[in-house]
Structure 1
Amino acid sequence: MTAITYAGAALAEIAGCFAFWAWLRLDKSPLWLIPGIASLCMFAYLLTLVDAEHAGRTYAAYGGVYICSALVWLWAVEGVRPDRWDTLGTALCLVGAAIILWGPRAAA
């Protein structure tokens, strides 16, 4: 369930940020901000659903998922295919995210 929640959060964050990008950089209507803000609120809500004891660890692990999702967006929406360095960097980030989120912890 964590992976699905992170994927939903990433989609919501990227879509929300893209709405601001479209308004400021692509000269789209300020009305793009309405779904953008709603999407960013959904992103924040979804991160609270991740089963982790500490918010900072949840956010750190999410970073790897965000990087992967941003490159999927690059390819799917912007039409730019990630290169091998993008792929290698993403793999390293996802491994790091998994270690942060699911690594064994000493009992406190």
Structure 2
Amino acid sequence: MRYPPTAPVVLLIAACIGTLVGEKDPQLVALVMQKQLELQADRALEESAQRQQKGERQIEEDYNKRMAALDADMVSIKAESASKVSSLKAENEELLKKYGIKRK
């Protein structure tokens, strides 16, 4: 359950007023403590969720960077392979001509 940030203050004031008039209400004190604990738990959960979202975003960003780097590497490797294949084909043709071998 969500409470406004002023909720513990209002309850604390009510507890203090009761204390000033000599009526320290244990239920009210317990309620104040409970609300404070609930607020702290809510804040901790929100902070945890924010850290988790930040971590997930970081993982996704890292993944995308690595994939982009791999894509760039693949383009380079394919170009290098194509160049080697062309070079080998040309060398093969030269050897076929040099030794007078005809393709079937």
| TM-score calculated relative to the size of structure 2 | 0.36
Q: Which has the larger radius of gyration?
A: 2
Bigger RCO (CA 8 Å, 6+ sep): 1
